[in-house]
Structure 1
Amino acid sequence: MGESTLTAVSAEPLDLSTHLAAVSTASTGAVATFIGQVRDHSPDATDAVVRLEYSAHPDVERALEEIVADVVGPHEDVRVAVSHRVGVLDIGDVAIIACAASSHRDLAFTVCREVVEAVKARLPVWKKQVLADGSHTWVGSA
């Protein structure tokens, strides 16, 4: 069965090397990573995005653990580390890091994508997009 080696929701900046170390073992042949960064635009925004403000449900860490367990459970030979930011993030800041490690690349790629998609769909995090004109929009509340 797959294994979750790190799940976290943090107001502090995320570190890729911490995630890589959490999933790497002597049998690791592949590590797929995803880094989601704050960008200066959004398809649903009427102006440039200047920052994001993430807030979360009080049980968000437990929810993240459950999401990852659901994804990795059916897979053999995979380890996952994933973290999501909360708080105020500027353009270029990292909002999410996900790493999936396995003996082979196909499983690492597949599980990394599945984890990111499940987190995006199910994690109880709310994203406030602050726009250049001072207005804001709410996006992606699971």
Structure 2
Amino acid sequence: MAHTNDHPGERAAQDPIKLIAVRETPLSVDEVFRAVGDAAAGGIALFVGTVRNHDGGADVDALGYSCHPSAEAEMRRIAEKVVADHPVRALAAVHRVGDLRVGDLAVVVAVACPHRAEAFDACRKLIDDLKHEVPIWKHQKFSDGTEEWVGAC
């Protein structure tokens, strides 16, 4: 049976943005997943960005994230655009700042929609736009003693 948009659960929720935060403390996948729970959602797409041990052919020992005071407001603006363009039932996004080690969680985002394809599309749009538009900068420290600042994380 094909789905139609006749049921209220097929549409975006009234207030789907459940969690937006920039934090200095470790992030929780469980917290973000719980934030987007919705009985009308048939699909939840979750993305977890972690600190990897290499970049551009060099070994990374550690990195730090810093942000502009507007970072959280910019995250909300991007979330609002994703909500406007997709049938989002619930959305959450948290980003870490401060010093992180390899394996630490840097960003966790999740989007719940009535169907999986919508959830995947909305989640990809959310993380891609956060990466390109939110004023958060990455300071990488490499094993050879060199360092690098990366524009928007």
- The bucket for the TM-score relative to the shorter chain is over 0.9
Shift of 1:141: 2.7
| Local SS of the residue matching 1:21 | helix
| Distance of 2:19 and 2:65 partners within structure 1 | 20
Does residue 1:16 correspond to 2:64, yes or no?
Answer: no
Superposition pairs of residues 16-95 of structure 1, within 5 angstroms: 16-43=29-56, 47-95=58-106
Runs (4+) off by over 6 Å: none
Does residue 1:100 correspond to 2:111, yes or no?
Answer: yes
| Distance of 2:89 and 2:41 partners within structure 1 | 9
Shift of 1:30: 1.1
* Structure 1 match to 2:17: 4
Count of aligned pairs between the two proteins: 140
Structure 2 unmatched ranges of 5 or more: 1-11
Structure showing greater Rg: 2
Q: TM-score, normalised by structure 1?
A: 0.92
Shift of 1:137: 0.4
Deviations 1:83-135 (A, max 9, x none): 11000010000000010111210001000000000000001001000111221
Q: TM-score, normalised by structure 2?
A: 0.86
Contact 1:78 1:107 in 2 (8 A): no
Does residue 1:113 correspond to 2:124, yes or no?
Answer: yes
Contact 2:38 2:89 in 1 (8 A): no
> Superposition RMSD on alpha carbons, in Å?
1.4
Contact 2:40 2:89 in 1 (8 A): no
| Local SS of the residue matching 1:39 | coil
Amino-acid identity (%): 37
| Local SS of the residue matching 1:110 | helix
| Distance of 2:38 and 2:23 partners within structure 1 | 25
| Distance of 2:152 and 2:37 partners within structure 1 | 32
Contact 1:28 1:101 in 2 (8 A): yes
Q: Return the letter of the residue paired with 1:10.
A: R
Structure 1 unmatched ranges of 5 or more: none
| Local SS of the residue matching 2:85 | coil
